[in-house]
Amino acid sequence: MHNENNGLVTPRQISSTSNATIKEAVRLHRKRNRYQSRLFLVEGEDLLDAALAHGVIPRQVFVLEEYESLVPEEAFTAPPGGGLQTSMPEIFSCTADVMAKLSQLASGARVIAAFEMPNGKFPAGIDGGPVLYLAGARDPGNIGTLLRGAAAFGVKAVALGAQSADPYAAKAIRSSMGAIFQVPLYLTVNPEALVSWAEGAGVDVICADSHTGDLVWEAPLGGDFVLVLGSERERIPHRLKDAAALTVRIPQSEETESINVAMAGTAILYEAVRQRAGS
């Protein structure tokens, strides 16, 4: 660990689970508290490394005592030119009991960090497509998996409808494997705002459907577009269906009602990359 005499940070010791800082961090397990404070937790040194790799500096880092070396030097230095977190984070060296209280994992975590939520408003910062819109993905794990696919396949932004699950829930963050820090994310985007932006940007709206529409490999996916995904429970809003330039489907057996929304979205995004590579 580094010390303040070198311009860096010396970790503060926390040994009590009733510590006020720990109580405030534990409150972030609940969605309402996350959005009130605009903070969320990530567990594990791999996710902290992923954040730092994309220039995202935590506000706080809690590390199991004797494992302080797991916190990279980058966590102690605010990135030049600003960013969400421009001051040095607070670093806390915690006992096993304290870390157990903070963790939502059955196995616990050696490193837990608190990050500020981005405050970008849709569509600020989006320059063309592809863009992914989740009309009603209720499973946080699916959202995290789709974020991971979006990062892998060059999606410029992910927008979520009001009925979608919280992308800052622990399950979503773990499933994203760090993509939560890589892909710009916009919350509670209504269909009208999405259509208005798409029309202004000259970007086609493409809806995915389980059983109707063009086969995905026959649809023109090589350009810019907004891919709209629904779910078994939350169908795609009529406003988006009406605005769609086309609908695409992934062929599947007649005995299958539908495939998982994360699987479907990943397959379509892969096909778009394949078409762009061959154009």
Q: Does some domain include residue 11?
A: yes
CA separation (Å) from 165 to 140, 152, 168? 6, 21, 9
Task: Give the model's pLDDT for residue 76.
Answer: 66
Assign residue 188 the CATH number of its domain: 3.40.1280.10
* One domain, residues 40 and 140: no
* One domain, residues 80 and 206: no
Assign residue 65 the CATH number of its domain: 3.30.1330.30
Q: Does some domain include residue 26?
A: yes
Q: Does some domain include residue 12?
A: yes
Q: Does some domain include residue 241?
A: yes
* One domain, residues 274 and 139: yes
* One domain, residues 20 and 157: no
* One domain, residues 99 and 224: no
Task: Give the model's pLDDT for residue 75.
Answer: 73
Q: pTM score, two decimals?
A: 0.89
* One domain, residues 270 and 137: yes
Number of domains making up the chain:
2
* One domain, residues 107 and 153: no
* One domain, residues 105 and 169: no
Q: Which region holds residue 226: left if phi is over 0, alpha if psi is between -120 and 50, else beta?
A: beta
3-state secondary structure the chain: CCCHHHCCCCCEEECCCCCHHHHHHHHHHCHHHHHHHCEEEEECHHHHHHHHHCCCCCCEEEEECCCHHHCCHHHHCCCCCCCCCCCCCEEEEECHHHHHHHCCCCCCCCEEEEEECCCCCCCCCCCCCCEEEECCCCCHHHHHHHHHHHHHCCCCEEEECCCCCCCCCHHHHHHHCCHHHCCCEECCCCHHHHHHHHHHHCCEEEEECCCCCEEHHHCCCCCCEEEEECCCCCCCCHHHHHHCCEEEECCCCCCCCCCCHHHHHHHHHHHHHHHHHHC
The partner residues of 13 in beta bridges, in order of sequence, read: 93
* Residue 52 neighbours by CB under 8 Å, 6+ apart: 72, 74, 75
Task: Give the model's pLDDT for residue 88.
Answer: 76
* One domain, residues 190 and 85: no
* One domain, residues 151 and 236: yes
Q: Does some domain include residue 122?
A: no
Of the three residues 83, 116, 149, the one that is the final residue of a domain is 116
Q: Does some domain include residue 125?
A: no
* One domain, residues 69 and 188: no
Task: Give the model's pLDDT for residue 113.
Answer: 97
**Other residues' Cβ atoms within 10 Å of the Cβ of residue 226:** 26
Query: Tens digit of pLDDT per residue, the chain (279 long)?
Result: 444 434 456 789 999 999 999 999 999 999 999 999 999 999 999 999 999 999 899 999 999 999 999 988 777 665 544 444 456 789 999 999 999 999 999 888 999 999 999 988 999 989 888 999 999 889 999 999 999 999 999 999 999 999 899 999 999 999 999 999 999 999 999 999 999 999 999 999 999 998 889 999 999 999 999 999 997 666 899 999 999 999 999 988 777 767 889 999 999 999 999 999 986
The partner residues of 272 in beta bridges, in order of sequence, read: none
Q: Does some domain include residue 237?
A: yes
Of the three residues 116, 146, 177, the one that is the final residue of a domain is 116
Domain span at residue 43 reads 4-116
Q: Does some domain include residue 9?
A: yes
Of the three residues 116, 150, 166, the one that is the final residue of a domain is 116
* One domain, residues 253 and 168: yes
